[in-house]
Chains A and B, each alone.
Chain A
Amino acid sequence: MAALGTAIDSLTAAMKCNIIPNQEYLLQGSVLDQYVEVLLHRLRGLCDNVDSGPETFNDHELCYSLRANNVNTPMALPLRVRRALDVSDAPFQLRYVGQQELGDKNRPTVVRSCIDMACSSTIIEFLSELGCRLDFEYIARGYMFRKGRMKVTVSKIFKMNGIANKPGEGVEAISQSYLVELSVQAPSGQDAIAEDMRVFAEQLRPLVQLEKIDYKRLGNMM
Chain B
Amino acid sequence: MQQREEKQLESSLESIIQRVNDLKASLASMIFKIENEYESLNWPKFLDNYALISGQLISLSKVLSHEKCTNLRNLTVLPLMLSPERDEQLIQMTEGRITTFSHDLVPDYLRTKLEPLAEKKMLQLEHKAQGLQYDNAQKQIAAYQKVVTHVWDIVSKAREEWEVEASSRGNTQQNSSVADTHLLVAAVGMGKGLKMGPNPNGQPNSTSGGMMVAPGRPGGPPGQGPIPPSSQAMSMSKAPSAIKTNIKSAAQMHPYNR
Contact = CB atoms under 8 A, between A and B. Distances in A.
Interface of A: 28-32, 35, 38-39, 60-63, 65-69, 74-77, 96, 98-99, 121-122, 124-125, 128-138, 140, 157, 159-162, 164-168, 174-177, 179, 206-209, 211, 213, 215, 218-219, 221-222
Contacts, number: 178
Question: Does more than half of chain A's interface fall in helix, strand or loop, or is it mixed?
Answer: mixed
A131 B219 contact: no
A131 B256 contact: no
B223 A66 contact: no
A174 B187 contact: yes
A203 to B, nearest CB: 14
Contacts of B208: 133
A207 B210 contact: no
A75 B251 CA distance: 10
B175 to A, nearest CB: 5
B181 interface: yes
B186 interface: yes
Contacts of A28: 181, 185
B210 A69 contact: yes
Given A159-B194, A174-B183, 7 more contacts: A38-B175, A65-B204, A132-B212, A132-B213, A177-B177, A179-B184, A206-B169
Contact of B175 (A31, A125, A128, A164): A31
B21 interface: no
A91 to B, nearest CB: 13
A215 B219 CA distance: 32
Among B169, B178, B221: residue with most chain A CB under 10 A: B221
B246 interface: yes
Q: How large is the interface on B (under 10, 10 to 19, 20 to 34, 35 or more residues)?
A: 35 or more
Question: Does more than half of chain B's interface fall in helix, strand or loop, or is it mixed?
Answer: loop
Interface of B: 169-170, 174-178, 180-196, 204, 206, 208-213, 215, 217-219, 221-226, 228, 243-244, 246-248, 250-251, 254, 256-258
Contact of B181 (A38, A74, A213): A213
Contact of B174 (A32, A136, A157): A32
A30 B181 contact: yes
A39 to B, nearest CB: 8
A166 B175 contact: no
Contact of B180 (A69, A121, A177): A177
Contact of B188 (A69, A76, A157): A157
A48 B92 CA distance: 49
A38 to B, nearest CB: 7
Contact of B250 (A35, A75, A130): A130
Contacts of A76: 204
